[in-house]
Amino acid sequence: MELALLFFGFVYSVSGFVLHESIPEGHSVFSYIENDIVTASSPSSSQALMVNLTLIEVAASKGAVCLDGTLPGYHLDPGFGSGANSWLIELEGGGWCNNIKTCVYRKTTRRGSSNYMEKQILFKGILSNKAEENPDFFNWNRVKVRYCDGASFSGDSQNEAAKLQFRGQKIWLAAMEELMSKGMQNADQALLSGCSAGGLATIIHCDGFKSLFPNSTQVKCLSDAGFFLDAADVSGGRTMRNLFAGVVQLQEVQKNLPESCLSQFDPTSCFFPQNLVNHVETPLFLLNAAYDSWQVQASLIPASADPYGSWNDCKSNHANCNSSQIQFLQDFRAQMLNALQDFSTEPQAGMFINSCFSHCQSERQELWFTDYSPLLTGKPVAIAVGDWYFDRDSFKAIDCAYPCDNTCHNLVFN
């Protein structure tokens, strides 16, 4: 499931659903763009920063290709002023493919082929070039690496019969090599980020990213909405574990997971962030909604686990949940907090875990930094991340349980 299109007033479709975003009382509504699509109704379209797609021409010779064999790509907006030697790399998200059928379908989309990628995308949120929208990173070199492998940039195999190339790890390496040649090798500051499947990729590649630079470079990582839990769904099944098991086996992801994790757990378990984060040595910030809307929709309450639709009203809008359904969601939050216990004690770790029904808060301007963004300890996400990155504050905050936070922007599905 992925957010796909926006209409005026916080309405956008998600795999056949239509979403509205609820806004705290007293705040105005403005048009917001999801997934790099600019609508005519956006008041900021005339000043929007549109950044061209660059294909990595040498990637084919390295075997670093999308699912269909096309070249991978990225979008780069150069830094300026004091940020000219600082680099922010964002790994695009967009789910996974866990079997031949879903990967073959993915080849016909921008998630599996650069033939379908937008030639320009909008840079906003953490990628914005405006200080009033992105106070700490606006003048850095900002890059979005496109996602076309279906395994969080971590697979390395192929299926000749289906003409599928699973080369996420090679795409990662080719993209980093190209960006180093574009000036990233001279970086004095670097931040690897990503949302959703890109957030998982950020955790997987965080230490590898750090290894590209000398010790004098300050390198940290930000995983947004990437903390997927190995949790039971409403039927008691393991929807998320079954999905990840298919991804890992099909794309031979175990080749690129930490040996320190694989010595303790099976490969599928080591694809789950709860088992990965304690093996990451580079400073890592976890930005996550405690009631992550993607996980609620796709892994906790998938249609396969609720054949009679008894969860449909609650699944669409948390305001419609009964007390036992809310308790199930509270139990999911408790599992997340339990999984974060060891990580939270790490001196270099950062956390912004709010009690919203949301997903991907660094990519959306109104969630990243506006006058009415979600707050924890009085700080919006952008300030919390900036304080942590620049060592102004070792930000670690976990929200009280729903419904205590009235600064949330909650997704509502129709």
Catalytic: 196?
yes
d(CA 287, CA 380): 11
Residue in 66, 163, 152, 80 with CA at minimum distance from that of residue 116: 66
Residue in 56, 322, 243 with CA at minimum distance from that of residue 167: 56
Residue in 216, 211, 251, 214 with CA at minimum distance from that of residue 100: 251
d(CA 239, CA 157): 24
Q: From the candidates 156, 292, 399, 405, which is the catalytic residue?
A: 292
Q: From the candidates 359, 362, 373, 399, which is the catalytic residue?
A: 359
3-state secondary structure of 397: strand
CB 126 within 8 A of CB 368: yes
Q: From the candidates 196, 269, 299, 362, which is the catalytic residue?
A: 196
Q: Give the number of C-alpha atoms closer than 13 A to the C-alpha of residue 333, restricted to the C-beta side.
A: 21
Who contacts 43 (Cβ-Cβ below 8 Å, separation ≥6)?
30, 31
Catalytic: 28?
no
Catalytic: 260?
no
- Token pair belonging to 60: 């084919």
For residue 224, count CB atoms less than 10 angstroms from its CB and return exposed for 0-12, middle for 13-18, buried for 19 or more.
Answer: buried
The torsion angles phi and psi of 103, rounded to 5 degrees, stand at -75, -35
Catalytically active residues, by annotation: 196, 292, 359
